[in-house]
Amino acid sequence: MAKAKPQENEYEDIPGTFVFNAERSRQGYGINMFCMSLMKDQNRKAFKANEAEYLKKYPLTPEQTDAILKRDYNRMLELGGNIYFTAKLGATDGHPFQHLAAVMTGSTQQDYANLMLRGGRPVEGNRSRSGKYAKAGSSIVKDKPKAKAKAKPKGKKRG
């Protein structure tokens, strides 16, 4: 049976974003089960003792194994990893989540912290890969027509 082509979703047009949907969940089952195993101390110790051997316990593609061993968190997310699960790998390595976010955005931990304190990335240039949502102030979610204001019911004046 041939594998179905992934369904295109509007949110796939957002640059640098891998939305954890049902398809990615299925794709990343092995990554996520591996990461969840790191909740137990004996598993963390076994993984750190021989990472490549430990990963053989899980149904991982070669690309997923490579991403884990290289600590390529963006690639892990692209290949179906869930950010909350992959953070357990970072914690196993002794890194706080802020460090992982900095690595994933190509910055230092301090630069990432400063970026967040300033309100995050600017919207301009970060709306879509295709340019479909290139205008500043546009929204990924299509605008809904505004509802007409309801007229106030007229009542008898008191006087």
pTM of the complete model: 0.65
Q: Are 6 and 23 in contact (CB under 8 A)?
A: yes
Averaged pLDDT, 10-32: 73
pLDDT at 50 over 90: yes
Other Cβ atoms within 10 Å of 89 Cβ, number: 21
CB neighbour class for 21 (10 Å; exposed up to 12, middle 13-18, buried from 19)? middle
- Segment 57-68 shows an average pLDDT of 97
Confidence of residue 135 (pLDDT cuts 50, 70, 90): low
**pLDDT on residue 139:** 45
- Confidence band of 72 (pLDDT split at 50, 70, 90): very high
Q: What percent of the chain has pLDDT over 70?
A: 63
Residue 40: name the closest of 48, 50, 31 by CA. Answer: 48
Question: What's the pLDDT score for residue 111?
Answer: 83
Report the mean per-residue pLDDT for the chain: 77
Distance CA(58)–CA(68), nearest Å, equals: 12
